[in-house]
Amino acid sequence: MMVSAEDTITIGLLGAGSVGAHVARTLVEERELISARVGTPVRLGGVAVRDPEAPRDWKIPGELLTTDPEALVDSSDLVIELIGGLEPAEELIERALRRGAAVVTGNKALLASRGAELNAIAAETGAMLRYEASVGGAIPILRPIEESLSGDRVTKVMGIVNGTTNYILDQMDTTGAVFGDALAEAQKLGYAEADPTADVAGHDAAAKAAILGTLAFHAPFSFDDVYCEGITEVTQDDIEAAAASGYVIKLLAIAENHSKDQAPGVVLRVHPTLLPRTHPLASVRGAFNAVFVVAENAGELMFYGQGAGGKPTSSAIMGDVVAVARTLSIGKELRTPLTYTPTISSEVDLPPLPIEKATTQYYIDMDVADREGVIAEIARVLADHHVSIESMRQPGSVTVEGEVEDSSNGAKVQIVTHLASEKDLHATVQELRGLDVVQVVNSVLRVEIEK
Ligand code: HSE
């Protein structure tokens, strides 16, 4: 392990965006406090940036800035990677791990695509790799799953892990704001990714689902294993219809263990979901995040907090820094480097399963002809595909260009099914679309009622 000869742990920071600037500030202004928490002096050895002149949330002292990240990595005991994206972040993290330096990162995209490889390098060299900030911003969620629940069996993790989309859906639900305006506001508040497509298309949440699933089920999963639907197709009508039936729409990242099934595995999925307004996750407002965990012995747990933003995310980074630096300092006292074993292991053969293996409830919204026998015909299609109806609403006549039409134009039917497989549901919707009495299937959304 690379603790420098002098009695100090030297930290190199890569990147000084909104999180990096807060981390730099903490390491400079709170150096004594952090050193006391670690039990050994720590110092910020340098901050690698592309443009030393760029405006930042906190003015980093000029003597700390460098444009040579490799040299900084090579002179640090602990490297904090906050560049984001795949390259050069991966190359620099690998460089640090290979020389035995500890790494703290919040890079969800990198971990979701190359996490297994990076953990393998860490295991090989005994270097520490921590990434609490990669999921849920300030919320301590990875350590509880990885460590506190390591003696239990997690069965399901279900989270609101993208602040931007939660903000947009919440604004649409509570103020009737239109999608574009709510997104612009989320960008202004600093929640959104540089390219907000990663947020609204669900890719950011999918990366976090892969990380959560990997730690919860002790098997490596990547971004490509996650079924992903974003929120761009969610309409104000969907939100209002959901509200009228006592639901709220949230973008959920779900990792579910199907180990008791004939073909065991894990389904990882991200999609807009109807939640009953009484569900604990339904009360998560604005850009806040929350992760709901179900474990065999612990039962239900929920972790809640700020999931985005420089200051909250810097808290998770600093927590990892202190934890890692403590271990470095113990190794230093013992005069022998402590080797570290990542808890990610392929302890069981638990492959990722396709979305077709998921079983959930569904909400189907249709415009239909308003005459006798229509409901019976629709019910027959569902029954033929073994999809059972939990509830059905006929909220009123169809509107055209904002005008309420008389019922000769048709009616609206909204169905919530009991648990059904994706396969049966797809076949059902396909047949419903072909019925003469169904004018249009407006929306098909998944519903999570059972925990
Ligand atoms: N764009 C992300 C979000 C930032 O909106 O949650 C935190 O990963």
pLDDT in tens, 271-316: 999 999 999 999 999 999 999 999 999 999 999 999 988 999 999 9
Closest CA to 214 of 341, 61, 352: 352
- How far is the C-alpha of 159 from the C-alpha of 212, rounded, in Å? 9
Atom of ligand 1 nearest to the CA of 308: 7
Same fold, 142-306 and 359-447: no
Q: What class is the 5-139+310-334 domain?
A: alpha beta
Mutation pick for ligand 1 pocket among 162, 166, 187, 189 (CB with most ligand atoms within 8 Å):
162
Atom of ligand 1 nearest to the CA of 196: 1
**pLDDT single digits (tens) 326-343:** 999 987 666 565 555 555
Distance 305 CA to ligand 1 centre (A): 13
- How far is the C-alpha of 414 from the C-alpha of 128, rounded, in Å? 52
pLDDT computed for residue 347 by the predictor: 56
Distance 289 CA to ligand 1 centre (A): 9
Closest CA to 395 of 425, 355, 350, 365: 365
Residue 2 pLDDT exceeds 60 = no
Q: What class is the 359-447 domain?
A: alpha beta
Atom of ligand 1 nearest to the CA of 167: 5
- How far is the C-alpha of 233 from the C-alpha of 200, rounded, in Å? 10
Token reading at 380: 């027959």
CATH 3.30.360.10 matches 142-306: yes
Distance 272 CA to ligand 1 centre (A): 16
pLDDT computed for residue 81 by the predictor: 98
Angle at 180 between CA 176 and CA 184, to 5 degrees: 105
Yes or no: say if 123 and 341 are a contact pair by the CB < 8 Å rule: yes
Atom of ligand 1 nearest to the CA of 166: 5
Q: How confident is the model at residue 205 (pLDDT cuts 50, 70, 90)?
A: very high
**Residue 208 designated active-site:** yes
Give the residue extent of every domain in the chain: 5-139+310-334, 142-306, 359-447
The residue contributing the CA closest to ligand 1 atom 4 is 308
Closest CA to 196 of 234, 165, 221, 172: 165
Residue 1 pLDDT exceeds 80 = no
**pLDDT single digits (tens) 54-108:** 999 999 999 999 999 999 999 999 999 999 999 999 999 999 999 999 999 999 9
pLDDT computed for residue 334 by the predictor: 62
Q: How confident is the model at residue 150 (pLDDT cuts 50, 70, 90)?
A: very high
**pLDDT single digits (tens) 353-380:** 999 899 999 999 999 998 899 999 999 9
Yes or no: say if 292 and 117 are a contact pair by the CB < 8 Å rule: no
pLDDT computed for residue 247 by the predictor: 95
Yes or no: say if 227 and 221 are a contact pair by the CB < 8 Å rule: no
Token reading at 442: 């407006």
CB of 199 within 6 A of ligand 1: the answer is: yes
CB of 133 within 6 A of ligand 1: the answer is: no
- How far is the C-alpha of 306 from the C-alpha of 311, rounded, in Å? 10
- How far is the C-alpha of 99 from the C-alpha of 4, rounded, in Å? 13
Mutation pick for ligand 1 pocket among 134, 164, 169, 291 (CB with most ligand atoms within 8 Å):
164
Mutation pick for ligand 1 pocket among 18, 191, 208, 317 (CB with most ligand atoms within 8 Å):
191
pLDDT computed for residue 417 by the predictor: 96
Closest CA to 295 of 419, 157, 141: 157
Atom of ligand 1 nearest to the CA of 186: 5
Q: Which of 208, 250, 332, 412 is catalytic?
A: 208
End-to-end CA distance of the chain: 44
Q: How confident is the model at residue 408 (pLDDT cuts 50, 70, 90)?
A: low
- How far is the C-alpha of 399 from the C-alpha of 80, rounded, in Å? 55
Residue 14, classified by CB atoms within 10 Å of its CB into exposed (0-12), middle (13-18) or buried (19+), is buried
CB of 159 within 6 A of ligand 1: the answer is: no
Count the Cβ atoms, other than its own, within 10 Å of residue 274: 26
Torsion of CA 23, 25, 28, 29, to 10 degrees: -130
- How far is the C-alpha of 278 from the C-alpha of 280, rounded, in Å? 6
CB of 164 within 6 A of ligand 1: the answer is: yes
Distance 191 CA to ligand 1 centre (A): 5
pLDDT computed for residue 6 by the predictor: 59
Encode the chain in three state secondary structure: CCCCCCCCEEEEEECCCHHHHHHHHHHHHCHHHHHHHHCCCEEEEEEECCCCCCCCCCCCCHHHEECCHHHHHHCCCEEEECCCCCCCHHHHHHHHHHCCCEEEECCHHHHHHHHHHHHHHHHHHCCCEECHHHCCCCCCCHHHHHHHCCCCCEEEEEEECCHHHHHHHHHHHHCCCCHHHHHHHHHHCCCCCCCCHHHHCCHHHHHHHHHHHHHHHCCCCCHHHEEECCCCCCCHHHHHHHHHCCEEEEEEEEEEECCCCCCCCEEEEEEEEEEECCCHHHHCCCCEEEEEEEECCCEEEEEEEECCCHHHHHHHHHHHHHHHHHHHHHHHHCCCCCCCCCCCCCCCCCCECCHHHCEEEEEEEEEECCCCCHHHHHHHHHHHCCCCEEEEECCCECEECCEECCHHHCEEEEEEECCEEHHHHHHHHHHHHHCCCEEEEEEEEEECCCC
Mutation pick for ligand 1 pocket among 199, 200, 231, 311 (CB with most ligand atoms within 8 Å):
199
Q: How confident is the model at residue 7 (pLDDT cuts 50, 70, 90)?
A: confident
pLDDT computed for residue 262 by the predictor: 73
